[in-house]
Every structure is written in C-alpha cells, then in structure tokens.
Structure 1
Amino acid sequence: MFRSKKNLKNKNDQQLLLDYLADGDLDVLGELFGRYMHLVYGVALKYLKNRDEAKDAVTQIFERLITEIPKFEILNFKSWLFVVTKNYCLMEIRREKANKNRFEKFSADQNMESTELLHPIDEDLNSSLQENLKHCLDRLKKEQQECVQLFYYQEKSYGDIADELNIAEKKVKSYIQNGKRNLKICLEQLEKEHEV
C-alpha cells in the first residue's frame, strides 16, 4: 500500500506501530526507527565504546525489530526500543567477554590441578593449540564434550547445563572433570607427537 512520506511524518509512534503491524511496510518501520536512531546509536556507543560497533548495532537492531515488534505489546515505542538496545549491547559485551575468557578460564582451571599443564597458552596461543584443543574435544565422549563446551565456550553454570541436558548436577561436574583430564592427556600426547 503506497503512503506518502509526508503522511508518515504526521503520524505519532503508536499509529506508525499499528500501521507496521497491519502490513509489515518497512517504510513505516523506517520512519518510526528513524525518529530514535540517534538514541540507539548513543546508547550503543555508551555501552560498546566503539563507533563502528555502535553503527553496526544500529543496523542489527533495526533488522531485529522486523521480527521482534510483532511478538510484543508495545505501549511506548521509545522506552521499549531503549530496553531492546541496552539488552543487545549487554549481550554483545557478554559474548565478547566469553570469547576472550574461555581459554584463560580453561588454563586457570587446569592450573588448579597441575602446575605444568597447558603451558602453550602462556606462550603462544596460536592456531595450532586451538586446532589441537578442537581435535581433542572432538575425541571426547559425547557427554563430556557437551558439558565441557557448554561450560567453557558458552559460560553456562553447572545448574544450567544440568537443566539443558536433563542430567544431575553431580554428573555435569563429573563429566567436566573427566573431560578436562582427557583433554589434558590428549594435548600432551599431541605435543609429544610433534616433538618426535
């Protein structure tokens, strides 16, 4: 349905929201989002502290609105958009932190059990160690592999993993402990093979 741009500008947020819900017209959503794009960018910049990432966030959030708006009863678009933006930024920060921390966390946990362990992490965390770790992960038993990946790569708690896999928390701890031990053995074997 064709609408003039002028007509869109004369409508309030709630009218635009209802129009968008009625026929999914992206021009209508663009008009509505455009009114608060500076707010989205400002919030993203405040949280992400990076202009390029904040610009990416604006694009990502607009794309997300296309599918998210129909799921919610939105009474105040501006407030709702602020919350969506804040949640998006917090998830991005958490994801970035998780990626940065997973190898550090893995080596720190290993260090509690042994002093000599994954020393390559301290030296040169290069692609060969990551490849070895992936190779060793692939060789773990299914339950150990799932628990280790959920714990270290997705930063989930024992309780969350137990719920997700529908097993007892005790089992989760056991699978993680045994998985770590098997990974350590596998990594040491691969290291010896490379030395030969």
Structure 2
Amino acid sequence: MELDEQRLLAEYKRTGDLQLLGRLYEPYMPLVYGLCLKYYKDEVKSEDAVMQIFETLIPKLRAHDVTNFRSWLYTLAKNHCLMDLRVTNRINTVDIEEHLVESDMFLHQHNKDERIPEDRLAQMESCLGELNAEQQRCIRLFYLEQKCYKDVAEITGYDLNKVKSHIQNGKRNLKICMERRKAE
C-alpha cells in the first residue's frame, strides 16, 4: 500500500491529475472525518472540513515532498481544524469583549441626563494615556468624537483592519487598566 501511495503521490505531483489525488485521499476520508468530528463535534462541519482539506491538498502536495502521506495528512487535518477553531473562538471572544467593554466602560449614553461619574472619567482619561499612540488615537476618534471606522481610517491614514485592531486592542487594554485601578 505504501509503495502504491508513493507512486500515486509522484504521479500526481508530475501531472496534477485530480483523479490520482482522489484515489490517494479516498481511503483516508473516514479517518479525516473522525479527526474533524473529534475537534468540531459537529457532523456537517466535519463533512465540510473533509472537502476543504482535499482542496488544500491540491496545491500543497504539488509543492511539498511527502514521504509518509498518512502522517502528513493527519498533521494537515489537525492543523486545519485547530486553525479554524482558533479563528472561530477569536471572533466569539472579540464579540464578548466588545459587549463587556462598551456596556461597562464607554456607556453610550442614550439618556442625555445620565452622566459618567467624574472619578470614572478621570480614571478612563488616565488609562487612555497608558495606551500606545495608535490605540489612543483610534479610541479617541471612534468613541469620544463618534467617528465611524472608515472616518478613523481616513483621518489616521491607517488601514481599515488596523483601525479595527487598534480599537479592539485599545478597549481590551483600557478595560484591564480600569479593572486594575478599581482593585487598587
């Protein structure tokens, strides 16, 4: 079997014939599915991952010299699942952090009579001063001057994704600073 795999790998690398790759991958599909199911705990997501991993194989096997396909495929599949979960968890974590920070610290005031206590404003201003320059500038423009992401990007000259990153990291750092000061 291993000799046949090596022959299929070599022939696929030479020709790029997807039928050869399919013959190579097919016996491992149940194992890849089981591995994905272990990580995702979701049948549909695992089935999708099996196909995504196959698509990943198309360029990777032509670029890499693989001597032990089974072991290499296991590592590739595991890394695919872990990276996907990491991205998903990062998105969920960001959503939770943004909710906590906005509701607790920035208090977008819907009631104009509602005021943030002076000591809390002083604490926030002091913590703002501890942020790096990029985070501080983006936080001030976004929250204190009520600019949208696009406006902040235009004003600062930062890429839109950098603006979002500076705001997210700045909010997290502000929250940490304010919690630290509250505990003092």
Give your verdict on TM over 0.5: yes
User: What's the TM-score, normalizing by structure 2?
Assistant: 0.62
**Aligned pairs for 1:1-196 within 5 A:** 12-110=4-102, 114=105, 116-117=107-108, 136-140=148-152, 141-143=156-158, 145-150=160-165, 176=170
Larger radius of gyration: 2
Identity %: 32
Cα deviation digits, residues 170-193 of structure 1 (max 9, x gap): xxx7xx46xx9xxxxxxxxxxxxx
**What is the CA–CA distance in structure 2 between the aligned matches of 1:151 and 1:19, rounded to whole Å?**
48
Question: What's the offset of the Cα at 1:136?
Answer: 1.4
CA contact 2:12–2:62 (8 Å) conserved in 1: no
Q: Specify which structure has the bigger relative contact order, considering alpha-carbon pairs within 8 angstroms and separated by 6 or more residues.
A: 2
Change (3 A) 1:94 1:108: same
Across the aligned residues of Structure 1 and Structure 2, the Cα RMSD in angstroms comes to 3.2
**What is the CA–CA distance in structure 1 between the aligned matches of 2:5 and 2:84, rounded to whole Å?**
28
Change (3 A) 1:85 1:151: farther
**What is the CA–CA distance in structure 2 between the aligned matches of 1:146 and 1:10, rounded to whole Å?**
46
What is the aligned residue count?
135
1:142 is aligned with what amino acid?
G
> Which runs of at least 4 in structure 1 moved beyond 3 Å after TM superposition?
107-112, 144-148, 150-153
**What is the CA–CA distance in structure 2 between the aligned matches of 1:144 and 1:111, rounded to whole Å?**
27
**What is the CA–CA distance in structure 2 between the aligned matches of 1:63 and 1:115, rounded to whole Å?**
44
Q: Give the unaligned 5+ runs of structure 1.
A: 1-8, 120-132, 154-172, 181-196
